[in-house]
A and B are shown apart, each in its own frame.
Chain A
Amino acid sequence: MGTALLSLSGLTKTYPGVVANSDVGFDIQPGEVHALLGENGAGKSTLVKMIYGLVAPDSGQMTLNDVPFSPADPNAARAAGVAMVFQHFSLFDALSVAENVALGMDNPPPRRELSDKIRTVSKAYGLPLDPQRTVGDLSAGERQRVEIIRCLLQDPKLLIMDEPTSVLTPQEVEILFKTLRKLSAEGTAILYISHKLEEIRSLCDTATILRLGKKVATCTPAERTAAELAEMMVGSSLRPPERRAHEPGGVLLEVNDLTIAPTQAFGTRLQNISFSLRMGEILGIGGVAGNGQDELLAALSGEVLTDASAIVMQGTAVGAMGPTGRRNRGLLTAPEERLGHAAAPEMTLTENALLTGSKRQALVKGGWINWAAAKGFAEHIIHHFDVRTPGPEVAARALSGGNLQKFVIGREVLQEPHVLVVNQPTWGVDASAAASIRQALLDLAADGAAIICISQDLDELMEISDRFAALNEGKLSPIRATADLTVEEIGLMMGGAHGMEVADA
Chain B
Amino acid sequence: MDLSSINPVLLVASLMITATPLLLAALGELVVERAGVLNLGVEGMMITGAVCGFIITVETGSPWMGFLLAAVAGAVLSMLFALLTQVFLANQVASGLALTLFGLGLSALLGREYVGIKPPSTPKLDLGPLADLPIIGRAFFSHDIIVYFALAMTVAIWFFLQRTRAGLTLRAVGENHDAAHALGYKVVLIRFAAIAFGGAMAGLGGAYISLVRVPQWTEGMTAGIGWIALALVVFASWKPGRVVLGAYLFGGVGVLQLNLQAAGVSIPVEYLASAPYVVTIIALVIMSKDRSGAPASLGRPFHASS
**Which chain A residues have a beta carbon within 8 Å of chain B's beta carbons?**
53-54, 73-75, 78, 86, 89-95, 99, 102-104, 108, 265
Known: A54-B182, A102-B165. 20 other contacts (CB 8 A): A74-B183, A74-B184, A75-B184, A86-B182, A90-B179, A91-B179, A92-B171, A92-B180, A93-B176, A94-B171, A94-B175, A94-B293, A94-B295, A95-B171, A99-B172, A103-B168, A103-B172, A103-B180, A103-B185, A108-B165
Complexed CA–CA distance, A280 and B42 (Å): 60
Residue among A73, A78, A92 having the largest count of chain B Cβ atoms under 10 Å = A92
13 residue pairs of the A-B complex, CB under 8 angstroms, read A53-B184, A54-B182, A73-B184, A86-B179, A90-B176, A91-B176, A93-B175, A93-B176, A95-B168, A95-B171, A99-B168, A103-B172, A104-B183
- Tell me if B184 and A92 are in contact (CB < 8 A): no
State the majority secondary structure of interface residues on B.
Answer: helix
A-B CB proximity, top 3 nearest: A74-B184, A90-B179, A75-B184
The contact string, 1 if C-beta is below 8 Å from chain A, for chain B 151-174, is: 000000000000001001101100
Residue B178 interfacial (CB < 8 Å): yes
Judge if B291 is at the interface, Cβ distance under 8 Å: yes
Number of A-B contacts (CB under 8 A): 50
User: In this complex, which of A75, A89, A102, A103 has the most chain B Cβ atoms within 10 angstroms of its Cβ?
Assistant: A103
Interface centre among B165, B184, B185, B293 (most CB of A within 10 A): B184
The smallest C-beta distance from B178 to any residue of chain A, in angstroms, reads 7
Task: Give every chain B residue within 8 A of A104 (Cβ-Cβ).
Answer: 183
Known interface pairs A103-B168, A103-B169, A108-B165. Does A95 touch B182 (Cβ–Cβ under 8 Å)?
no
Report how many residues on chain B are interfacial, defined by Cβ distance under 8 Å: 18
Which chain A residue shows the least CB distance to B173? A92
Determine the chain A residues whose CB is within 8 A of the CB of B178 once the complex forms: 90
Give the residues in chain B near A265, CB-CB below 8 Å: 291, 293
CA distance A265 to B168 in the complex (A): 21
- Given the contacts A103-B168, A265-B291, A94 and B182 also touching, CB distance less than 8 Å: no
Closest CB of chain B to A141's CB: distance in Å?
18
CB of A117 to closest CB in B, whole Å: 16
Which chain B residues border A89 with CB–CB below 8 Å?
179
A102 touches B183 (CB 8 A): no
Interface residue? B283 (CB, 8 A): no
Give chain A nearest CB distance to B35 CB in angstroms: 13
Q: Which residues of B contact A53 (CB under 8 A)?
A: 184
CA distance A403 to B176 in the complex (A): 29
Contacting residues, chain A, for B179 (C-beta < 8 A): 86, 89-92
- A73–B293 Cα gap in the complex (Å)? 31
Residue B221 CB within 8 A of the other chain? no
Considering the chains assembled together, what is the distance between the CA atoms of A104 and B180 in angstroms?
9
Contacts of A103 in B (CB 8 A): 168-169, 172, 180, 183, 185
